[in-house]
Amino acid sequence: MRLMELKQKHLLGIEHLSADEIEYILQTAESLEEISKRDIKKVPTLRGKTIVTLFLEPSTRTKTSFELAAKRLSADTLSISKDASSFKKGESLKDAAKTLQAYRVDAIILRHSASGAAEFLSKQTDASVINAGDGCHEHPTQALLDAYTIKKKFGKINGLKIAIVGDILHSRVARSNIFCLTKMGAELSVVAPPTLLPVDVEKLPVKVAFGIEEVLEESDVIYLLRLQAERASENHFPSIREYRRLFGLDADKVKKLKPEAIVMHPGPINRGVEISSTVADLARSYIEEQVTSGLAVRMAVLYLLVGGSS
Question: Which parts of this chain interact with other proteins (CB under 8 A)?
Answer: 1-5, 15, 24, 27-28, 30-32, 34-35, 38-40, 42-45, 73, 92-94, 112-117, 119-120, 134-138, 172, 175, 198-201, 203-204, 303-304, 307-310
Least gap, CB of 272 to other proteins (angstroms)? 28
Q: At what angle do helices 287-306 and 19-32 cross, to 10 degrees?
A: 100
| Cα–Cα distance for residue pair 35/39, rounded to 1 Å | 9
Q: Which is nearer to other proteins, 196 or 216 (CB)?
A: 196
Q: How far is the CB of 304 from other proteins (least distance, A)?
A: 7
Residue (32 or 273) nearer to other proteins, CB: 32
Pairwise CA distance, residues 298 & 32, whole Å: 10
Contact 74, 45 (CB under 8 A): yes
* Nearer Cβ to other proteins (234/281): 234
- How far apart CA 45 and CA 120 sit, in angstroms, is 29
AA letter at 263: V
Of 22, 41, 63, the residue nearest 179 (C-alpha):
22
Residue 296 CB, nearest approach to other proteins (Å): 11
CB of 116 to other proteins, least distance (A): 3
Task: DSSP letter for 11, please.
Answer: B
CB closer to other proteins, 141 vs 285: 141
Residue closer to other proteins (CB basis): 207 or 284: 207
